[in-house]
């Protein structure tokens, strides 16, 4: 685990670092961070607890325990990563371990949104390319990769990989609006006027079209 975590802030245009491969479909948020570690009022200690049960079961051979992967920041996964519970503790735990970018075949929706809202980009690649990339990383785990949010290309010294990322996601990462609170609050007057039009907040007065 990284002792000094640099939390994402403002505009995110590039992410670079070593890749770490975690194979398997449907890796759920209970596995990423088991529920007993949710008994906390802050996220501070979650980095040590990420994949706690899987790591214990694999006695030091889990990718997050292997020496060569320490300090990695780009997580490569398969299908439906992060399914299950809405716990933001899952991406928070990954972030605190050192993950800054996730590339996979597909992501569960709430997990994907949670990642975006804390500044972890999630990009998609085909099954075939993920499989090729996973092999490349396993053969040269110390290779440095750089991901460019604008072009959505992941580059190593020898290779480049196209990824998919929805337009809205890349735009807010680049503009810094992934940290949405101030953007949302800036619409306060519009929010208040909507609240005055919604029937269930206004004694069910409504216009029939």
Partner 1 sequence: MWELHSVKKLQGDSTQLFIGLHLVHEVTSPQAFAALEEKNLNVLYPELTYATVDHIVPTINQKRPFLDPLAEEMLMTLEKNCIRHKIKLFNINSGNQGIVHVIAPETGLTQPGMTVVCGDSHTSTHGAFGAIAFGIGTSQVRDVLASQSLAINKLKVRRIWVEGALAQGVFAKDLILHVIRELGVKSGVGYAYEFAGPAIAKLSMEERMTICNMAIEAGARCGYINPDETTYTYLKGREYSPKGDDWEKAISWWRTLASNKDAVFDDEVIFDASQISPTITWGITPGQGIGIDESIPKKECLHPNDQQIADEAYCYMNLKPGQPIKGLPIDVCFIGSCTNGRLSDLQAAAKIAKNKKVAKGIKAFVVPGSERVANAAKKEGLDDVFKNAGFEWREPGCSMCLAMNPDRLEGNQISASSSNRNFKGRQGSAQGRTLLMSPAMVAAAAITGHVTDVRKMI
For partner 1, the closer of residues 53 and 160 by Cβ is 53
Q: How far is CA 159 from CA 89, 130, 197, 200, in A?
A: 33, 13, 54, 56
Least distance from C-beta 159 to partner 1, angstroms? 26
- Beta pairing, strands 122-124 & 160-162: unpaired
Run of H or E including 113: helix 109-117
Least distance from C-beta 152 to partner 1, angstroms? 13
CB 133 within 8 A of CB 76: yes
For partner 1, the closer of residues 42 and 139 by Cβ is 42
For partner 1, the closer of residues 118 and 153 by Cβ is 118
State the first-to-last Cα distance of the chain, in angstroms, to the nearest integer: 58
User: What is the token pair recorded at 103?
Assistant: 């590339």
Q: From the CB of residue 67, how many other CB atoms can be counted at a distance below 10 Å?
A: 8
For partner 1, the closer of residues 43 and 140 by Cβ is 43
Helices 109-117 & 167-175 angle (0-180, nearest 10): 20
Q: Which residues bind partner 1 (CB under 8 A)?
A: 24-26, 28, 30-31, 34-36, 38-43, 53-54, 56-57, 79-80, 83-89, 91-92, 106-110, 113-114, 117-118, 166-169, 171-172, 175, 177, 180-181, 183-185, 187-188, 190-191, 194-195, 197-201, 203-206, 208
- The span from the CA of 82 to the CA of 54, in Å, is 15
Least distance from C-beta 18 to partner 1, angstroms? 25
For partner 1, the closer of residues 61 and 204 by Cβ is 204
Least distance from C-beta 144 to partner 1, angstroms? 30
Least distance from C-beta 51 to partner 1, angstroms? 11
């Amino acid at each position: 685990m990284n002792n000094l975590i640099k939390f994402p802030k403002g505009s995110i245009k590039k992410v670079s670092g070593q890749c770490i491969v975690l194979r398997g479909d449907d890796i759920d948020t209970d596995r990423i961070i088991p529920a007993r570690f949710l008994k906390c009022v802050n996220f501070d200690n979650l980095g040590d607890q990420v994949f706690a049960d899987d790591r214990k079961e694999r006695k030091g051979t889990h990718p997050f325990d292997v020496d060569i992967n320490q300090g990695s920041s780009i997580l490569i996964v398969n299908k439906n990563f992060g399914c299950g519970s809405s716990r933001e503790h899952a991406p928070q735990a990954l972030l605190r371990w050192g993950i800054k970018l996730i590339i996979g075949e597909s992501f569960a929706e709430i997990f994907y949104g949670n990642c975006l809202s804390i500044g972890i980009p999630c990009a998609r690649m085909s099954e075939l390319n993920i499989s090729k990339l996973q092999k490349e990383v396993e053969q040269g785990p110390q290779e440095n990769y750089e991901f460019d949010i604008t072009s959505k290309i992941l580059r190593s010294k020898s290779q480049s990989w196209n990824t998919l990322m929805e337009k809205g996601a890349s735009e807010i990462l680049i503009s810094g609006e992934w940290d949405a609170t101030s953007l949302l609050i800036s619409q306060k007057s519009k929010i208040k006027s909507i609240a005055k039009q919604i029937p269930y907040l206004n004694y069910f007065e409504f216009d029939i079209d």
